[in-house]
A and B are shown apart, each in its own frame.
Chain A
């Protein structure tokens, strides 16, 4: 562990914190373009965050200390996730602290806390949102874990850095197992980030909302932190998808030259990924909440199929 790797590690978190709202803004912009609307500026999320930070917090009488702590816990969990997903380098000093399975656990920790916060005030919408979020969560989490299992079986490691190195160095051949896993991962990410076929980030209609229902009671700086952590989650999932399925361009060493490659590569890949996300959101319709188990069940089966395909076809590779 050298000083440069530590700096790189910190830089990766800071880049994540700074870029996350930009990614959210970019997806939003692409979506409005695709829907033939006039788009808000790219930096709109930053303005929104700044506005919210300046506003005072209006807290319900029944709010417990847990409710006030949760926004900070969410940001901490997502920052931790950004720290261990290899985005700018695979040589991260903090990466051994948590592997792919622990990453799933950290996402789950954030989900449990936000669900508890949703139930804390004791409103009808809050508990409804928490229940739905946990429903989505328990279906999505095993699918995500199975995606990681497939990648781990290929690279014989659950450490994200090792997975990325192995996958980046392999010959450019199409792994059928990874193709299945990729589709499953996309479906899980849509659900986990409250995106269109499962949830709608732009709605406040009680029949449809999941994520928004849980955070209805947040305001001011708390809401800013919750929104920021949602953007960070989208960023983390995007980086995860890039690291697993398009790992080329993530440098393995440290050094300025590597860094000069890493950042443009990351930005380019995120831009394309964000556009594709907006495309999926535009092309699909929001489904009823009880279709979500079918959707995520499909993702789960695809991930398991991917693992079986690995056994049948790729055992010797």
Chain B
């Protein structure tokens, strides 16, 4: 900051978010002009995102800054503050947003749903409101931004609003977003503790007595959990993600879910002074259930975007597991271990933002090239779309949590955190928590299954439909976006020491400890978060070793023997007349999971009888929770509204009478 102390990162961040608003508004000048919107506004939006990421990095190194904007209601200005936690999430927003925006520049086609100019407005409003959520420093501005985020994303989800399922998905999303918002609002109400001061600074100064703190935490968990997809509030996620255009799905899954994680962190570690250990245990249990549920359902999906949506639920579950562990450690006053778990959590947030955005964008390219989201109609696309396929492979390896990808680093840190739980000073907790590690291990292994299914069925094998030979690779702008996100995945996977050094700045103010020093002590090459004798991992060395042996083996085999290759038909044990339809379908690949985890699903099967001339096989897999929880609530709500339906008379005199009685009642109470 040599240009002058007056231009702080917070000013830059606010200015950049305002730029997004301007870009969005500019879309309205020529809403149907695709070249103007796609080739000019969206790339500019990507540039702004890149600058925002840089600003966030600068803010990560600076001390917290505050700003008061005299907007909004009179006597109720907007308070903004950028501290290291906000800065990290701004980096996440900017980094993922840059890739998604440049991809979106090449993605929108004429005649798809809402006019591109209008989508440009909604999209940039969405981005700006997320930036403001991360910078808000009072409950009022936070809620305004939060609701803007929910509404703008609702309009983006329903951009193909002529299709009834999409309208239904949008409705469900809006409903649960608002139920969640009520929880957040009530949580802020508890946090201000009767002082009437809704600024975050005021909330921090409030002493929160035991039960009130727990109430605030519970409400925040409910509210932010609804937006993040915590079980049992996850039902909107697998509906809304597939309905939205792919860049929007990427943005929602990669970034918006993290906004709710940000909110949860802000409330628990910043606004509340004390954290009780049993909060952590509850979140740990819920997170584990969410993760397992997400991955099991993900394995049986047949729509590629639904598969990724369930996989997002899984990853949110893992993030919450790490979060729960951090709260537990913090509740017992073990700062160093809380920092370890919190680092694992923040790392996974960054990882998930990178690889899930990448994968969603890849499905977007596949969707454009083939017009199909159903896995049963794809296959063999690695030959037609090599760019998308190889970049998707990076995301797939990361998502499956395999070394040397980025997903593995956060999983490794999380498992290291679990290995320390025997030190917890509570009899049963310290024994049962390592067992939770077993469930985390199972989730990680299952995500490998899911990713093999996703990549193998979409990109490998033979095309399952004739039309797939005409599939074309992604355009230049789309490729740039995908490459950027894949590069972020590689960076996060291969340079963990540098990343943890940055995360150190976030965990230190929150839990009073960081891993930066210990991580740097192992050298830039070796990640040893606690000490080198205890555990160490070096992704660069692993990658270098694999690459070296690979190269040596190729050279040795070619030099010592020969490199002759003859092309022929596949052998397949000598069975003749093989067709592409004999490969595993998505249903077939998910069959073992359906069998092993049968109690989890609500399945309806239709099996053909042996004498059918045209046998048909049908299976639908549904969610028990929908039938056990949501439908009863919906029926109860319907019943309740029918009871009060007589109030609606349709005559204006009656309505005026209601107003009159209401006023009378109010006068009686208030006087």
Chain A contacts to B: CB under 8 angstroms: 53-54, 56-62, 64, 66, 69, 72-73, 75-77, 79-80, 83, 94, 96-99, 101-102, 105-106, 108-109, 111-112, 115-116, 119-128, 130-132, 134-135, 137-139, 141-142, 145-146, 149, 152-153, 156-159, 162, 204, 206, 216-217, 219-221, 225, 290, 293, 300, 303-304, 307-308, 311-312, 315
B663 lies within 8 A of chain A by Cβ:
no
Q: Are A141 and B561 in contact (CB under 8 A)?
A: no
Q: Which residues of A contact B455 (CB under 8 A)?
A: 116
Give which listed residue, B419, B542, B569, contacts A153 with CB less than 8 A: B419
- Chain B 547-576, CB-CB to A under 8 Å as 1, else 0, gives 111100110010011101111111111010
- The answer on a CB contact under 8 Å between A64 and B560 is no
Q: Give, as a whole number of angstroms, the nearest-CB distance from A289 to chain B.
A: 8
8 pairs of A and B residues whose beta carbons are closest in the complex: A122-B461, A122-B462, A127-B584, A119-B456, A97-B541, A76-B549, A142-B441, A141-B445
Contacts of B554 in A (CB 8 A): 72
> Is there contact, CB below 8 Å, between B573 and A206?
yes
**Given A59-B567, A123-B570, A134-B449, also A98-B538 (CB < 8 A):** yes
A-B contact pairs, 19 of them (CB 8 A): A54-B561, A62-B380, A75-B553, A97-B526, A111-B448, A112-B451, A119-B452, A119-B584, A121-B572, A123-B583, A124-B572, A135-B449, A135-B596, A138-B442, A141-B441, A141-B444, A145-B437, A303-B438, A311-B434
Q: Which residues of A contact B538 (CB under 8 A)?
A: 96-98
A176 to B596, CA, bound (A): 30
Residue B379 interfacial (CB < 8 Å): yes
> Considering the chains assembled together, what is the distance between the CA atoms of A304 and B436 in angstroms?
10
CB pair A156–B578 under 8 Å, yes or no, is no
User: In the complex the two chains form, is A59's CB within 8 Å of B541's CB?
Assistant: no
* A202 → B minimal CB distance (Å): 15
Q: Which residues of B contact A312 (CB under 8 A)?
A: 431
Q: Would A97 and B542 be within 8 Å (CB), given that A53-B560, A123-B578 are in contact? A: yes
In the bound complex, residues from chain B placing their C-beta under 8 Å from that of A221 are 557, 561
Inter-chain contacts of B595 with A (CB < 8 A): 290
B293 at interface by CB-CB < 8 Å: no
CA gap between A131 and B431 in the complex, in Å: 35
Q: How far is the CA of A146 from the CA of B418 in the complex (A)?
A: 12
Question: Whole-angstrom distance from the CB of B408 to the nearest CB of chain A?
Answer: 5
Nearest to B393 among chain A residues (CB) is A66
- Nearest residue, chain A, Cβ from B534: A157
Shortest distance from the beta carbon of A140 to any chain B beta carbon, whole Å: 8
| In the assembled complex, B89 has its CB within 8 A of some CB on chain A | no
Q: Using Cβ atoms and an 8 Å threshold, which residues of chain A touch B575?
A: 124
A293 to chain B: closest residue by CB: B596
Given A58-B566, A66-B382: A311 in contact with B534 (beta carbons within 8 A): no
Which residues of A sit under 8 angstroms from B397, Cβ to Cβ? 109, 112
B419 touches A149 (CB 8 A): yes
A98, A111, A217, A303, most chain B CB atoms within 10 A? A98
A131 to B547, CA, bound (A): 27
CA distance A132 to B456 in the complex (A): 14
A299 to B255, CA, bound (A): 39
Interface of A is mostly: helix
| Chain A residues within 8 Å of B557, by CB | 53, 221, 225
**For the complex, what is the distance from the CA of A159 to the CA of B572, rounded to whole Å?**
43
Instruction: Identify which of B111-119, B179-187, B356-364, B398-406 touches chain A.
Output: B398-406
Contact A59 B568 (CB under 8 A): yes
Residue picked from B400, B451, B553, most chain A C-beta under 10 Å: B553
Q: Which residues of B contact A (CB under 8 A)?
A: 379-380, 382-383, 393, 397, 400-403, 408, 412, 415-416, 418-419, 422, 430-431, 434-435, 437-438, 441-442, 444-446, 448-449, 451-453, 455-457, 460-462, 526, 528, 532-538, 541-542, 545-550, 553-554, 557, 560-562, 564-573, 575, 578, 580, 582-584, 588-589, 591-593, 595-596
**B573 close to A311 (CB less than 8 A):** no
Q: Contact at B570–A60, with CB atoms within 8 Å?
A: yes
Q: A144 — nearest CB in chain B belongs to which residue?
A: B441
B442 touches A142 (CB 8 A): yes
Contacts of B462 in A (CB 8 A): 62, 121-122
Distance in angstroms from A6 CB to nearest chain B CB is 13
Residues of chain B with a CB closer than 8 A to A290's CB = 592, 595
Are B572 and A216 neighbours in the complex by a CB distance under 8 Å? yes
B449 near A138 (CB under 8 angstroms)?
A: yes
Residues of B within 8 A of A139 (CB): 445
**Chain A residues within an 8 Å CB radius of B401:** 105, 108
- Choose among B448, B541, B561, B588 the residue that contacts A112 (Cβ–Cβ < 8 A): B448
Q: Report yes or no: A131 in contact with B448, Cβ–Cβ below 8 A.
A: no
Q: Given the known inter-chain contacts A72-B550, A73-B546, A98-B538, please indicate yes or no for A127 contacting B571, CB distance below 8 A.
A: no
Contact A311 B535 (CB under 8 A): no
Complex Cα gap A270–B408 (Å): 32
A80 contacts which chain B residues (CB < 8 A)? 542, 545-546, 549
A132 to B589 CA separation, bound complex (whole angstroms): 9
Shortest Cβ gap from A119 to chain B (Å): 4
- Measured CB to CB, the nearest residue on chain B to A68 is B565
Q: Name the residue among B400, B438, B445, B537 with the largest chain A CB count within 10 angstroms.
A: B445
Chain A residues positioned under 8 Å from B593 (CB to CB): 135
Instruction: A134 to B130: give the CA distance in the assembly, Å.
Output: 39
**Contacting residues, chain B, for A79 (C-beta < 8 A):** 545, 549
A62, A77, A116: the one contacting B456 at CB < 8 Å is: A116
Contact of B569 among A61, A124, A159 (CB under 8 A): A61
6 more A-B contacts (CB under 8 A) besides A101-B535, A142-B438?
A57-B566, A58-B567, A76-B550, A94-B545, A121-B462, A124-B584
Give every chain B residue within 8 A of A130 (Cβ-Cβ): 452, 456, 584
Which residue of B is nearest A297, CB measured? B596
Cα-based distance from A158 to B415 in the complex (angstroms) = 10
Chain A min CB distance to B563 (Å): 8
Centre residue among A101, A126, A311 by max chain B CB count within 10 A: A101
Q: Could you tell me if A120 and B460 are in contact, using CB atoms closer than 8 angstroms?
A: yes
Which residues of the other chain, A, contact B445 by a CB distance below 8 angstroms?
A: 108, 137-139, 141-142
> A138–B446 contact, CB under 8 A?
yes
Q: How far is the CA of A75 from the CA of B547 in the complex (A)?
A: 11
**Considering only CB atoms, which chain A residue lies closest to B565 in the complex?**
A57
A271 to B425, CA, bound (A): 46
Complex CA gap A159/B535 in Å reads 5
Question: Please, which residues of chain A bring their CB within 8 A of the CB of B534?
Answer: 156-159, 162
Known contacts A64-B382, A76-B549; decide if A123 and B403 are in contact (CB<8 Å): no
Cβ-defined contact, B461 with A121, below 8 A: yes
**CB of B419 to closest CB in A, whole Å:** 6
Min CB gap B355→A, angstroms:
15
Known: A80-B549, A94-B545. A122 touches B583 (CB 8 A): yes
Contact A149 B434 (CB under 8 A): yes
B376 CB, min distance to chain A CBs, angstroms = 13
* Shortest Cβ distance from residue B526 to the other chain A in the assembled complex, whole angstroms: 6
| Interface pair B448/A125, CB less than 8 Å apart | no
CB neighbours (8 Å) of A59 from chain B are 565-568
Q: In the assembly, what is the distance between CA of A111 and CA of B455, in Å?
A: 14
Q: Report B-chain residues with C-beta under 8 Å of the C-beta of A307.
A: 434-435, 438
User: Please, how many angstroms separate the alpha-carbon atoms of A64 and B380 in the complex?
Assistant: 9
Assuming A53-B561, A149-B437, is B456 touching A135 (CB within 8 A)? no
Q: Is the CB of B434 within 8 A of A158?
A: no
Inter-subunit contact B526/A120 (CB<8 Å): no
Min CB distance, A65 to chain B, in Å?
8
Q: Are A96 and B434 CB-contacts (below 8 A) given A60-B568, A120-B461, A134-B449?
A: no
| Residue contact A137 to B549, C-beta cutoff 8 Å | no
**A122 and B419 form a contact (CB under 8 A):** no
Most chain B beta-carbon neighbours within 10 Å: one of A94, A116, A312: A116
Min C-beta distance of A254 to chain B, whole Å: 19
Contacts known (A62-B380, A77-B546, A122-B462); A145 close to B441, Cβ less than 8 A: yes
Among residues of A, the one whose C-beta sits closest to the C-beta of B572 is A123
Contact assessment for B449 and A137 in the assembled complex, using a CB-CB cutoff below 8 Å: yes
Cα(A109)–Cα(B452), bound, Å? 11
Shortest beta-carbon distance from A81 to chain B in Å:
10
